[in-house]
Structure 1
Amino acid sequence: TKNTAYAAAVAYAVFFVVLELGAFAAVVALRPADADGGTLDDLRGAARRHPWVGAGFALALIGLAGLPPGLAGLFAKVTVVRALLDGGAGWLALVVALNAVIGLAYYLRLAATLYAAPGPVEVGVRPARVVAAALAVATALAVVVGFAPQLVLDLAAR
């Protein structure tokens, strides 16, 4: 129905905004203050140097990939695909599923890089308090919606 599709779209947006906020906060927390985002190789071993930041980043990436414990991402994808199929847009559901597989490969590669053996250059960075707070809030919200995604869907359906 139209209401279900609307609720699915809102829930999807909420889930992914929370997860993206966590991922971007982690990238900012892991880079030197005077640098840009850097490269993926700059993140090699970052979770070993900064375990809490790395864990928040990995949780966001896993959630974006739609894997447990980041069930909000999976829930959002399934809800949107179901709404597309119910609405007769099977071709679009296929595009969403294909993009999910491509995203899965990218997110898991990045999460593995965080825990890989550190590269030759190790940057010692202490995240700014506001960045650490944003990461903590996003991670806490990701955990809540990861274990109780129905809360967001119920609010969106109202």
Structure 2
Amino acid sequence: MHDSSASEAAEAKDSPLRSGPLDRSLGYRLRLAQILAYRNFEETHLDQGVAPRYLGLLSLVSANPGQPQNKLAEAVGLQKSSLVTILDRLEKDGILERGPIPEDRRAKGVWLTEKGGQVVEELSREAAAHEARMTEGLSETDRARLIEMLGVVIENLRA
């Protein structure tokens, strides 16, 4: 090994690995930010079971009680079969419940339980504090603009 290679290797050992061209890829950076944000949030809420991982879904159910499972799956970008497994776990934990929809007896609607409402309320407060830490150094204008721009990306991907 060359001396310069050895010093470069030692320097690289102390710094994050680079991804080459992907370092400038929006998709890669979004995915990395998502993984790190969720992992950090989950690690600070181990006492809440799987609920922190599915806060987005639970918030969607809270804001839209009684929606059919297929509509929820579409809203969060999951296959219905993947969502059913998640709903089974959350129902087992007493966070949500499923039942028939009066207008469509073939479909099952999803509602938060009382416990689920409390979990969503508590985790939502904690998620706001987590987001403040996560966006430290961004101005309120930049933060709002980032959310707006990501909304455009999301709509483009849904189209």
TM-score (normalizing by structure 1): 0.30
Q: Which has the higher strand share?
A: 2
Higher relative contact order (CA 8 A, sep 6+): 1
TM-score (normalizing by structure 2): 0.29
Q: Which has the higher helix share?
A: 1
